């Protein structure tokens, strides 16, 4: 789970760098690490959480697809402001997805151990 937070932080750091000759290349490298972190997020498959698990899986696939779509745009990097905005939106959605996965994990463990009652 720390891998995800580290990946998000490195993308934010790369976004904050001044736009230079290798800005897009560095950002793309960090986006690749974010993609790997998303791929390695735990998968919850409790039957009573099937609907929420399915939603999380669809979000995971959409994020991976968005990163693949963004990679060549980031590498070209001619419109830095637009690229920054697209990546910021991606980070926001990735963090929301990560929270959803953490909530699923919590809910599955809570039921297993009896919850708060």
Three-state SS for 71-102 is HHHHHHCCCHHHHHHHHHHHHHHHHHHHHHHH
Per-residue pLDDT, 43: 79
Per-residue pLDDT, 80: 79
Residue 23 tokens read as 């800005």
Per-residue pLDDT, 54: 83
Per-residue pLDDT, 110: 63
Taken in order of first residue, the domains within the chain and their CATH numbers are 2-113 (1.20.120)
Would you give per-residue pLDDT tens digits along the chain (117 residues)? 589 999 999 999 988 888 777 888 999 999 999 999 999 888 777 777 778 888 888 999 999 999 999 999 888 867 778 888 999 999 999 999 999 888 888 877 766 555 555
């Amino acid at each position: 789970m720390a891998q995800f937070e580290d990946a998000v932080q490195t993308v934010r750091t790369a976004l904050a760098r001044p736009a230079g000759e290798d800005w897009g290349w560095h950002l793309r490298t960090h986006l690749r690490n974010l993609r790997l972190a998303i791929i390695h997020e735990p998968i919850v498959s409790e039957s009573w959480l099937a609907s929420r698990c399915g939603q999380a899986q669809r979000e995971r696939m959409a994020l991976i697809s968005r990163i693949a779509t963004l990679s060549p745009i980031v590498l070209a990097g001619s419109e830095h402001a637009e690229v920054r905005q697209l990546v910021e939106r991606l980070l926001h959605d990735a963090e929301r997805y990560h929270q959803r996965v953490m909530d699923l994990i919590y809910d599955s463990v809570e039921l297993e151990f009896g919850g708060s009652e």
